C-alpha cells in the first residue's frame, strides 16, 4: 500500500500544474456549494425569523365593496365591518379561538418637546398581544378598563420611544405625549418584532370615539383553531363569507365584498418559495460540483493515455488488471479527497466569516428594522455529505478511464506512442 501511494505521489509531482488545476476545480466546486448553501440559509433564516413572534393560525378581514347585486340591492355598495360582525365572529367558537376589532388612523404626529415622529395609531383590544405576538419591554398593554372607559392611553414601540425620549427611555412610561393635538399617557413600551413599520397602540374604543366612527371597525383579526392546512383554511374562509354575507347583505361568492388574509396560506406560500430557492441553490451548486468531477475524469483520461505504454509493460511482466485499476482509482480518490477537503474547510471558513460580519443583518424600515440576513451557516453534516458525494463521484469519474487501462491488451499498449 505504501508503494501504491508513493507511486501516486510521484505521478502527481511530475504533473504539478495539471493536478493543481484539476484540484482547484474540485475545491472550487465544493467551496461554491457550501457558500451558496450558507448564503441561501441566511436568507431563509431571515424570512423565518420575521414570523417567529406571530401566530401562524391568524386571519384578518377587511371591508370592501359589493361588486354584485344582491336581493334587490345594487352592486358597488360599500361594505362595513362593525362591532356586530366582531360579536358574530367571536361566537363562531368551533373555529375561533380569540378575535378583536381593529381601527387605524394613519399619519398621526406624535410629539414630545422638540421631537416628533409620524406613524399609525392602531386601535386594538387586550387580546392583541396574543393575536400578533407583541412582546412588552416595560409597562403594560391596553386592558379592559381602558377599553370600556375609552381612555387616552398609548403603547409605543421601543424605537419610537428612542426617537422621542433619546436615552431617557426609563422616563417614557407614565409620561404624557401629544398626538395630533390630543394628549395620551404612555402605559407601555413593546419590543421590535423585526417586521413592518411599528404602530402605536391605543384602545380601539378610543379611536372610534375620537374620530366619530361609532361602532365601525377597520378590520377584524382573529385566531383560528382546528385549522392546519391551506384546504381547511379555504373551507373556513368560504363559511365565514356566508356568515358575514348574511349580516351585511352581499353574495358570499362576491370576493370583493370582504378581503380575507390567512397567515396559514401565506406561510404555506412562503414555504413553497423557500423550497424553490433551496432547490435552485442545490442545482447551481451541483452543476458547480460537476465541473470538478469532469476535471477529475479528464485528468484520469489524460493519465491513462500518457501511461498506456507503461501499463502495457506492467501487464506484459505479469501485472494483473486489478492492480492497474486500483492504481488509477486510488489516485482519483486522493486528488478528490484532498482538494475536496480544502474546499470544505475554505467554504466553512467563509460561511463563519459571513455569520460574524453579517449574521444578523437588518435593514431600516421607518422607525423599525427588518432582518434580511441571519445565520448564513451550513450544517456540518450537510457539508460532509456534499464532500463525500464529491469523493464518490470523483471515484466513479476515475473508474471508466481505469477500466479502459485495465482492459487494454499488452501488445496494443506497447505499440502506443
Q: List, for residues 281-314, the tens digit of each pLDDT value.
A: 778 777 777 776 777 677 767 777 777 777 777 7
pLDDT tens for each residue of 156-167: 999 899 889 887
Residue ending a domain, choose from 223, 251, 266? 266
Calculate mean pLDDT across residues 178-202: 85
- Please state the length of the chain: 417
Mean pLDDT across the stretch 8-31?
Answer: 77
Annotate 98-160 with DSSP letters as a single string.
Answer: EEEEEEEEEEEEEEETTEEEEEEEEEE-TTHHHHHT--EEEE----HHHHHTT--EEEEEHHH
**Which pLDDT score, from 0 to 100, does residue 367 have?**
44
In terms of domains, do 163 and 294 share one?
no
Mean pLDDT, residues 84-91 taken together = 94
Domain shared by 115 and 67, yes or no? yes
Same domain? For 30 and 102 the reply is no
pLDDT at 365 over 80: no
Q: Are residues 351 and 277 in the same domain?
A: yes
What letter would DSSP give residue 96? E
pLDDT band (50, 70, 90) for residue 50: low
| Residue appearing with cell numbers 506484459 | 316
Buried-state track 26-55, b at ≥16 Cβ within 10 A, e below 16? bbbbbbbbbbbbbbbbbbbbbbebbbeebb
Residue 339's pLDDT band (cuts 50, 70, 90): confident
The DSSP-derived string for 320-367 is -HHHHHHHHHHHHHHHHHHHHHHHHHHHHHHHHHHHHHHTEEEEEETT
Mean pLDDT of 96-121: 92
Please tell me whether residues 193 and 329 are part of one structural domain: no
**Residue 18 banded pLDDT, cuts 50, 70, 90:** confident
Alpha-carbon distance of 95 to 209, in angstroms, equals 31
Statement: residue 140 has pLDDT above 90: yes
The domain boundary residue, chosen from 249, 266, 283: 266
Q: Region 108-121: what's the mean pLDDT?
A: 91
Q: What is the mean pLDDT of the chain?
A: 82
Residues 321 and 408 in one domain: yes
Whether residue 26 sits in one domain with residue 64: no
Cα–Cα distance between 242 and 279 in angstroms, integer? Answer: 40
The pLDDT value given to residue 361: 58
Residue 219 confidence class, pLDDT cut points 50, 70, 90: very high
DSSP one-letter string for 48-82: HHHTTTS-TTEEEEEE-EE-S-BTTBPTTEEP-EE
How many domains in the chain? 2
**Domain endpoint, select from 228, 251, 266:** 266
Query: Strand 115-124 and strand 200-203: pairing?
Result: parallel
- 387 within 8 A of 340, measured Cβ to Cβ: yes
User: Are 295 and 323 found together in one domain?
Assistant: yes
Query: Which of the four pLDDT bands, split at 50, 70 and 90, describes residue 144?
Result: very high
Q: Yes or no: say if 37 and 31 are a contact pair by the CB < 8 Å rule.
A: no
Instruction: Give the integer Cα–Cα distance in Å for 139 and 135.
Output: 11
Q: Give the DSSP H or E segment for 217.
A: strand 216-217
Least confident of 21-25, 73-77, 121-125, 345-349: 21-25
Nearest to 142 by CA among 121, 163, 118: 121
Distance CA 106, CA 82 (A): 19
| Residue 65: per-residue pLDDT | 93
Q: Looking at the structure, tell me whether residues 283 and 360 fall in a common domain.
A: yes
For 199-228, letters b (16+ CB in 10 Å) and e give bbbbbbbbbbebeebeeebbbbbbbbeebe
Same domain? For 68 and 132 the reply is yes
What range defines the domain where residue 212 resides?
58-266
pLDDT for residue 417 is more than 70: no
Pair 218, 322 in one domain: no
Q: What local confidence, expressed as pLDDT, does residue 368 receive? A: 47
Same domain, 162 and 218: yes
pLDDT at position 287 is 79
Amino acid at each position: 500500500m505504501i508503494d501504491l501511494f508513493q507511486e501516486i505521489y510521484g505521478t502527481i509531482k511530475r504533473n504539478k500544474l495539471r493536478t493543481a488545476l484539476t484540484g482547484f476545480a474540485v475545491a472550487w466546486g465544493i467551496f461554491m456549494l457550501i457558500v451558496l448553501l450558507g448564503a441561501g440559509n441566511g436568507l431563509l433564516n431571515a424570512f423565518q425569523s420575521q414570523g417567529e413572534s406571530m401566530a401562524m393560525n391568524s386571519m384578518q378581514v377587511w371591508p370592501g365593496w359589493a361588486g354584485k347585486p344582491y336581493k334587490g340591492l345594487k352592486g358597488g355598495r360599500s361594505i362595513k365591518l362593525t362591532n356586530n360582525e366582531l360579536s358574530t365572529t367571536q361566537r363562531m367558537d368551533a373555529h375561533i379561538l380569540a378575535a378583536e376589532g381593529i381601527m387605524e388612523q394613519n399619519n398621526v404626529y406624535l410629539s414630545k418637546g422638540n421631537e416628533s415622529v409620524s406613524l399609525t395609531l392602531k386601535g386594538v383590544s387586550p387580546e392583541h398581544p396574543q393575536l400578533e405576538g407583541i412582546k412588552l419591554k416595560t409597562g403594560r398593554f391596553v386592558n379592559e378598563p381602558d377599553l370600556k372607559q375609552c381612555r387616552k392611553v398609548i403603547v409605543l414601540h421601543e424605537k419610537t420611544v428612542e426617537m422621542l425620549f433619546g436615552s431617557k427611555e426609563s422616563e417614557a412610561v407614565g409620561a404624557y405625549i401629544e398626538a395630533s393635538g390630543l394628549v395620551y399617557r404612555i402605559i407601555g413600551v413593546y419590543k421590535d418584532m423585526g417586521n413592518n413599520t411599528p404602530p402605536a397602540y391605543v384602545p380601539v374604543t378610543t379611536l372610534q370615539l375620537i374620530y366619530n366612527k361609532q361602532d365601525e371597525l377597520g378590520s377584524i383579526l382573529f385566531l383560528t383553531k382546528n385549522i392546519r392546512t391551506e384546504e381547511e383554511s379555504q373551507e373556513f374562509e368560504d363559511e365565514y363569507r356566508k356568515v358575514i354575507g348574511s349580516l351585511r347583505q352581499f353574495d358570499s361568492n362576491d370576493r370583493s365584498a370582504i378581503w380575507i388574509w390567512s397567515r396559514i396560506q401565506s406561510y404555506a406560500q412562503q414555504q413553497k418559495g423557500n423550497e424553490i430557492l433551496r432547490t435552485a441553490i442545490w442545482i447551481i451548486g451541483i452543476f458547480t460540483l460537476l465541473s470538478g468531477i469532469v476535471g477529475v475524469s479528464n485528468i484520469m483520461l489524460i493519465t491513462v493515455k500518457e501511461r498506456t505504454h507503461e501499463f502495457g509493460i506492467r501487464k506484459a511482466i505479469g501485472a494483473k488488471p486489478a492492480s492497474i485499476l486500483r492504481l488509477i482509482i486510488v489516485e482519483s480518490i486522493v486528488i478528490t479527497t484532498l482538494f475536496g477537503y480544502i474546499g470544505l474547510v475554505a467554504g466553512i471558513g467563509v460561511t463563519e466569516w459571513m455569520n460574524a460580519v453579517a449574521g444578523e443583518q437588518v435593514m431600516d424600515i421607518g422607525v423599525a428594522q427588518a432582518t434580511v440576513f441571519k445565520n448564513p451557516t451550513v450544517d456540518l453534516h450537510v457539508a460532509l455529505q456534499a464532500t463525500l458525494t464529491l469523493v464518490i463521484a470523483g471515484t466513479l469519474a476515475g473508474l471508466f478511464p481505469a477500466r479502459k487501462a485495465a482492459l487494454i491488451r499488452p501488445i496494443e499498449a506497447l505499440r502506443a506512442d
